[in-house]
Structure 1
Amino acid sequence: MGQRYIHILNGPNLNLLGVREPAIYGHETLADVEAACRAEAQAAGLDILFHQSNAEHDLVGWLHQARVGAVGIIINPAAFSYAGYAILDALKMCECPIVEVHISNIHRREAEWRSRSIMTQVVTGIISGLGVDGYALAVRHLVKLDQRQVAA
């Protein structure tokens, strides 16, 4: 069997993690997030494909690549959470577990619209408000799901 992957996809403005509103999103960078996720996955014999884009069509393309054969998908759709219908439709086609991650607690944010992610209706689970630690927790969850499936 070839290398097995968890796909981690990040939406708009996450390339500025660490400098963008650090009171909300913290000081860690996206590179820090990737390193933590990679360490979690590699400890379980898995690898990750880690991407970020400010363009919706890039996320749709990566979801198409992950659609079949991925161990799982972790997605922080960021602002696409609220109106990214093309991403929503692409997620519906995925055959693996999907964890939606938000760094901030979207249910405690200043604007009510931020608490209504359209992605939540099709994902396996959501982690919100645990900072960048939510990513590594999502990897750990997908690893456990994969180990259960392999053992079955």
Structure 2
Amino acid sequence: MDPINTTQITGLWTYLETVDWSDPWFSGLLAFHLVMFAITFLTRNHQMFQAVHFVILLMLVYSAESINELAAQYWSSFSKQQYFDSKGLFISVVWSTPLLINTLIIVMSWILTSSQLMVSAGRLKIEMEKRKQNAVERKNEKEKSAKRKAE
């Protein structure tokens, strides 16, 4: 296959159009990302598991440069074309971006959970204050009724 003429690439969309998505390793990459999104979804109510998943995702993003270097070195063993450039655009698009979207979803989930907890805590506080006020009012009524009986 001929190398990609970089002068024809004018933006991200034209860059993605030059990729041969029928390469078998893209199916594996897609499956990997789908598993990562599934784990994110399935662990949404388990904060500790999700925190570990979050750290793993960030470590995978951090390792993108090393993965890019290895892939650039051994691309012919798994791909029809050499996509792995020295600036890392391709690895950023197909590897890091989906992982970072995953981490963004996790952070948004944590913010939602935190806001729900804050609302619940506020409601409990209001409810406790009402109970306390009702208890004081009942105590005052008992004292008044006791004074009336004593008179």
**After TM superposition, is the score higher than 0.5?**
no
Q: Which has the higher contact order (CA 8 A, sep 6+)?
A: 1
Which of these two proteins has the greater Rg computed from alpha carbons?
Answer: 2
Q: Hey, which of these two has a bigger chunk of helix by percent?
A: 2
TM score, norm. by length of structure 1: 0.23
In the superposition, the TM-score normalised over structure 2's length comes to: 0.23
